[in-house]
Amino acid sequence: MTKRDILSVADFAAGEAEQLVKKTIKSKNEAWPQVLAGKSIALLFEKPSLRTRMSFELAVHHLGGYAIYMSPEEIGLGKRESVPDVAHVLSRYVQGAVARTFLHRTLETMAEYASIPVINALSDYEHPCQALADLVTIYERKGKFKGLNLAFIGDGNNVANSLLIACAMVGINFLIATPQEYSIQDNVLRIANKYAEQTDSHIMLLEEPAMAAKDADVIYTDVWTSMGQEEEYEQRRIAFAEYQVNEKLLSYAKKDVIVMHPLPAHHGEEVAVGIIDKYRSVIFDQAENRLHFQRTLLAELYK
Ligand code: CP
Ligand code: NVA
């Protein structure tokens, strides 16, 4: 097995993302290959998690492997011990590391020094497994990618970065409405634009939520304050006040629009009270598809 890291959606080859989505859907009704039998995977989390931890632990279990979880208090990445030393030690014990870090740079350093695959379980920059699992949910609901309009409302954050690159890869038009100072960074836009040229998809950075939501097939939102930004909570609550997904905003979208959210959600902030419940079948499919996608990804990496 050759070492392959998944730190960004851009680590998937063009065409591979769509292939993995289709494989994931098929895998739900198939016997899972026991490719992790006799193997162990470390889960290193600097931040809390419900979905990512549960779905990765279960995915490892479904493939016959053993998952070892390390909590935020236990690791002390770069504090108790240097990141390169942690990477070297892990490489002697386990066959892969799934890591959730504050800084994306920490993941890059781990990947550089580890001789085992390192998978991004969310950093301040990207959340690639969320984005690919979300493509699974979109494909199941809409039966296609090309020509769909996805409106992202809110913060140009880690989830938005990964989703933008993923949409550009498969030909979904990505319209994002953010306050100007919370827009997508130029480097992410450059990467996404390269894919968008190949798939003919459109990327639009907007400030007006209603403009992004117009004729949307998918309306997507995420928290205004991500983990690690807690001290900015008040400032962000004010900046994003007009960026709530509510019935009025949904009225601009197509009739069969679906609302998506990676969760955890703050009811009454980025989503009006009642919206998560109204669209729960899609939103909890999203959570479930994390498991199916990550099992497919691990099966691919360890085949
Ligand atoms: N969506 C997501 O990554 O959830 P957790 O933070 O609970 O893992
Ligand atoms: N943007 C959020 C996503 C949580 C899954 C965060 O980073 O906290």
Dihedral pair phi/psi, residue 107, rounded to 5°: -65, -40
pLDDT (tens digit, 0 to 9) for every residue of the chain, 303 residues total? 679 999 999 999 879 999 999 999 999 999 999 999 999 999 999 999 999 999 999 999 999 999 999 998 888 888 899 999 999 999 999 999 999 999 999 999 999 999 999 999 999 999 999 999 999 999 999 999 999 999 999 999 999 999 999 999 999 999 999 999 999 999 999 999 999 999 999 999 999 999 999 999 999 999 999 999 999 999 999 999 999 999 999 999 999 999 999 999 999 999 999 999 999 999 999 999 999 999 999 999 999
Instruction: For residue 5, tell me if it sits in a domain.
Output: no
57 burial type by CB count under 10 A (0-12 exposed, 13-18 middle, 19+ buried): buried
Instruction: For residue 299, tell me if it sits in a domain.
Output: no
Please give the number of the atom of ligand 2 that sits closest to the Cα of 263: 5
Q: Domain containing 216: what range?
A: 130-286
57 with 183, same domain? no
Question: Are the beta carbons of 209 and 216 closer than 8 angstroms?
Answer: no
Structure tokens at 267: 């009811």
Does ligand 2 have an atom closer than 6 angstroms to the CB of 158?
Answer: yes
Of 108, 125, 142, the position where a domain reaches its end is: 125
Of 95, 125, 155, the position where a domain reaches its end is: 125
Of 125, 157, 192, the position where a domain reaches its end is: 125
228 with 99, same domain? no
pLDDT value at residue 42: 98
pTM recorded for the entire structure: 0.98
Instruction: For residue 297, tell me if it sits in a domain.
Output: no
- Please tell me the total count of domains within the chain: 2
92 with 136, same domain? no
Helices (H) and strands (E) in the chain, counts: 13, 9
Dihedral pair phi/psi, residue 266, rounded to 5°: -110, 95
Report the residue among 49, 98, 134, 223 best suited for mutation to probe ligand 1: largest number of ligand atoms under 8 A from its CB: 49
Q: What is the CATH number of the domain that holds 213?
A: 3.40.50.1370
Instruction: For residue 14, tell me if it sits in a domain.
Output: no
134 with 271, same domain? yes
Does ligand 1 have an atom closer than 6 angstroms to the CB of 162?
Answer: no
166 with 62, same domain? no
Does ligand 1 have an atom closer than 6 angstroms to the CB of 51?
Answer: yes
